[in-house]
Each structure stands twice: as structure tokens, then as C-alpha cells.
Amino acid sequence: MMIFLAGFIGGVMLRSFVNFGRAFAGLFILLGIIFMLVRLVRHSVSNTKIFLYIAIFLIAAGFGMARYEIKDTSPDLSRFESVIGRGGQVELDGLVVDEPDERENYTRLVVESPPSGAGGAKILIYAQHYPEFKYGNEIKVSGVLRRPKNMDDSFDWRAYLAKDDIYYEMFYPKIGLTADGKGNWIKRQLFAFKEKYLGALAKVIPEPESAFMGGLTVGAKRAIGKSLLEDFRKTGIIHIVVLSGYNISLVADSIMRGLSFLPGVFGISLGVLGIILFAVMTGASATVVRASLMALLVILARATGRIYEITWALFLTGFFMVLHNPKILRFDTGFQLSFLATFALIWLAPHIEKKLHFVPKKFKFREIASATISAQIFVLPLLLYKMGMFSVVSIPVNLLVLLFVPVTMLFGFLTGIIGMFSAILSVPFGWISFVFLQYELWIVEGFAKLPFASFNVPRFPLAAMLIMYAIYGIIIYKLNGKNKKAI
């Protein structure tokens, strides 16, 4: 099974870097079949198992390449291409098919045109903050249509958008609302609930603390501002303002600890239920679902101690995610970071925790320290390759902040949920939240101002990243003993 998974992932990864054409996928499958036949014909020869392993790997790699080819086949875009050929000026009808992404100076809308989706395409629109639009709005757009452009060689912006089937952009076009209440009814209600929750926070907690709480609890990044986001990056704690597996596992862990007086199976079940409800409340986007699945695996690994079975579940989860959208393997940094951090929390954190005997267990400080250190170590090569930024202060900042994140999230949730019914009743919880938020922002901003807080590592090579992960693999294998059954 592991050979098949490795072959499939290897095929997807190879195709994501090099396009040899569809025939190349067929060639791999054909070679695999040949090796399979050799193994069947020459069954009396010693070491014929190697032929079987090679056959499975090659066939799986061929299917991986074929799956990527299918995903990479764009819809019929001739209508849009002809418009671009005439200068790009276009007037079209579209449907807002995702939650608006509000940034500091603009709002990004993902619009599908035509609204029916038949023979259409997704367009990323950069719009003014006002008038506001939301998921399910049908709009008329007039402006210049263009293909996404890569600003430099360090990041393939066009491929990044294409993984979500977005092939065009429009900058500040004229937009008019033509209809409301379209799209999926459940998603509309979830997004409306999220908006009401964020509005309740804003009534009680001032900015930028309110925006920070929105990012902490439901992954909303609006109004945080570029400078503050840059501080989060410099200090290596950007993961707390997006919905990562870590944030969601905190929700489940808090539920389980709060119900620790119940039998273990009830605590675990309610923790799992808490993750599901939390994912639904925040909109159940692909990112949230992925982070929720990763968090579930961490919770189950800690609660049951069945490391090998949970690791299999992790790999199978990753496989099905890549099977659904093979482009996330290379172009979705969030998926990559979540997978690596989850692996580190399952395999590396327990060993580091044993070494931190000098750190007190009270308030789970030792557990937080081991989780922070293991996750930071494991995602470092990928961050260097993707972003070229090394945060010197990452570990101390994470330790100083993450210790207070669970209680901050708890009072933040209470502020938002109670505030949806009564702003006055939510004020005491908002004040407590505000104190913790100010402390966390003070730590982040203070460390970010240090001249040595971070430095750039220009063009960290892919080969160096792969070598580092190979070394990590060897270390983890030795830590867990050679005599243990391989995963």
C-alpha cells in the first residue's frame, strides 16, 4: 500500500514540475504492466518481489500523472480568449461563488461566469470595499479581462490560481448587483452566521485586536493590515491567524479537558464533534476541512496512543486530498504545512517532550513547548524553500503566545456568540479577551522590531529541502527504533 501511495504522489509531483504530455503517463503504466508480467512469468527466479514493487510504483506513478493531466485540462475558454485578443474589454454576468476576501485596500471576489457555470470560468476580481458583495450575489461586471501574470520566477501565481480553476483576473471593474440569494443555501447561511459573529466582535473589541481575534477564531484576515501580517511572518507565528490544524485542535483539546470528568470515550467523541461544528461554523471551505481532518488525527493520536494507525490515516487523508485536487501537492502551501506539522506532532513531539523535563507540566506548558518546537523544526525547510524567510525568534515567540491562545479563543468565542444576542452581556468577556490579545500583539510587535528577528535566505534550492527532509526521516526512524514495524 505504501508503495502505491508513494508512486501516486511521486507521479503527481513529477507532472507538476514537468509536462511530458499524456503519453508519458501511459508509458509509466505500460512499463509497470511489463514488470508485473516479468514477475508472473519468472516466478521461480529469486527476488521477484522487486519486480512487483517496481510494477506497483510505476503503475501508481502513471495514474498520478494521468490524474494531474485531467485536473490540468481547463474548460473551453475560447469565449474569454477571444475577448482578450480584442483588448480584454468585456461586460459579463457572474455569480460570487466564494466568501469575499477582504484585504487592507481591496476585496477579492471569485466570480463564475456565466452564473449557470455551464461552459464558464472563474475570474478573480479585485474590487473596492464598497459597495459590499457576498456569496450568492449575481452581478454584472464591466472592465478589462486579463490572464494572471507571474511577477517573478520565485512564485507561479498563474498556477496557484489554476489549482482552484481560476484562469482570469479583473482589476477594479464596474460592478452592479442583479440578483441575491443564489448559490448553495447552506453555504449562504454559514457565511451569514460568520459575518454576524465577526460583527459582534467588532462592537465590543477595538481594532486591530478585533481583527486579530477574527483571524484567531474563524480565520478572517480582514483589516489586520499588511504591517501587522508582516510582523506575524517575521516572528514565525502567522499560522495562528489562519485556520490551521493547530488552531482547530485547540478547540477540540479545550472541549476534552473541560469534560475530563466524563469517561474517555465521551471526551474524545465530544472533541471530535467540536471540531466538526467549528468547521461548519467557519464556512466549511476546503482549507477548513483539511485543517479539521489534520486536527482530528492529532487528537486521536494523543488520546489513543495508536501512532502507527493514525499515521496511516494521515497518509490516506493526504492521498485522498491530492486525488481530489492534485495541484495542492505543489501549489497549496497551507496543505503542505498542515501535513508536515501534523506529522511532526504525531512522531516528533513525544520525543522532544521527554527531553524537556526541565519545563513544568503545569498549564500544559511542556506539551505546548514540545508541539511548538517539533512543528517549527519540521516546517522550516519548506518555509525556506517557499518564502525564503528564517525567523530567529520563532520558537520563543510561539512559546510566549501559544500558552495563552486557548484561553484567548475561549473568551473570544464567548464574546462573539453572546454578542450576537446582546452586546452588553458580551462586554465582560470582550474585556478579558482584549487583555490577552493586547499581550499577544505586544509580544509579536516587540520581537518583530528586533534587528535580528528574521533574515532572508535567497533561492533556497529544492534539492536542499529534499535532503533536509530525508535527514529528518532518518532521525525519526532511529528515534522510534529500527526494530519497530515500518509504517
Positive or negative, the Cα torsion across 454, 458, 462, 468?
Answer: negative
Confidence of residue 318 (pLDDT cuts 50, 70, 90): confident
Stretch 439-468: mean pLDDT: 88
Q: Which three cell numbers stand for residue 251?
A: 478547540
Confidence of residue 447 (pLDDT cuts 50, 70, 90): very high
The pLDDT value given to residue 410 = 83
The pLDDT value given to residue 125 = 94
Stretch 86-115: mean pLDDT: 86
User: Is 304:256 a contact under the CB 8 Å cutoff?
Assistant: no
pLDDT digits (tens, 9 = 90+) for 117-132: 655 788 999 999 888 8
The pLDDT value given to residue 483 = 42
Stretch 29-50: mean pLDDT: 74
Q: Is the pTM of this model over 0.75?
A: yes
Q: Give DSSP secondary structure letters for 16-76.
A: HH----HHHHHHHHHHHHHHHHHHHHTTTSTTTHHHHHHHHHHHHHHHHHHHHHHHH----
* Residue predicted with more confidence, 277 or 158: 158
**Which CATH fold would you assign to the domain 78-183?**
OB fold (Dihydrolipoamide Acetyltransferase, E2P) (2.40.50)
State the chain's mean pLDDT as an integer.
81
Q: Report d(CA 387, CA 453) in Å as an integer.
A: 15
The pLDDT value given to residue 233 = 84
Question: Which residue ranges make up each domain of the chain?
Answer: 2-72, 78-183, 196-479
| Residue 283 φ then ψ, to 5° | 110, -10
pLDDT at 251 over 90: no
pLDDT digits (tens, 9 = 90+) for 199-232: 999 999 988 888 888 887 777 766 677 788 888 8
Stretch 135-164: mean pLDDT: 84
Confidence of residue 240 (pLDDT cuts 50, 70, 90): confident
Q: Report d(CA 203, CA 133) in Å as an integer.
A: 21
Q: Report d(CA 7, CA 59) in Å as an integer.
A: 8
The pLDDT value given to residue 119 = 59
Element (H, E) at 179: strand 174-179
Helix axes 423-448, 226-234, angle to 10 degrees: 60
Q: Report d(CA 67, CA 3) in Å as an integer.
A: 18
The pLDDT value given to residue 487 = 42
CA distances from 344 to 71, 113, 243, 372, 483 (A): 30, 42, 18, 10, 21
Stretch 190-197: mean pLDDT: 86
Of all residues in the chain, what percent carry a pLDDT higher than 90? 19
Stretch 338-366: mean pLDDT: 81
Using CB atoms within 10 Å of the CB of residue 69, give its burial: 0 to 12 exposed, 13 to 18 middle, 19+ buried. Answer: middle
The pLDDT value given to residue 170 = 93
The pLDDT value given to residue 64 = 92
pLDDT at 238 over 70: yes
Stretch 369-385: mean pLDDT: 84
CA distances from 133 to 20, 44, 96, 108, 349 (A): 42, 69, 8, 10, 44
* Residue predicted with more confidence, 246 or 107: 107
pLDDT at 272 over 80: no
User: Is 123:166 a contact under the CB 8 Å cutoff?
Assistant: yes
Unique residue bearing C-alpha cell 464558464: 120
Of all residues in the chain, what percent carry a pLDDT higher than 70? 85
Sorted by sequence, the CB contacts under 8 Å of residue 359 that are 6+ apart come out as 365, 366, 369
Most confident of 141-155, 160-174, 329-343: 160-174
Half-sphere exposure of residue 78: CA atoms within 13 angstroms, side-chain side: 1
The pLDDT value given to residue 444 = 92
Torsion of CA 100, 102, 108, 113, to 10 degrees: 20
* Residue predicted with more confidence, 246 or 347: 347
* Mean pLDDT lowest among 303-307, 339-343, 364-368, 438-442: 303-307
User: Is 32:59 a contact under the CB 8 Å cutoff?
Assistant: yes
The pLDDT value given to residue 418 = 94
User: Is 72:25 a contact under the CB 8 Å cutoff?
Assistant: no
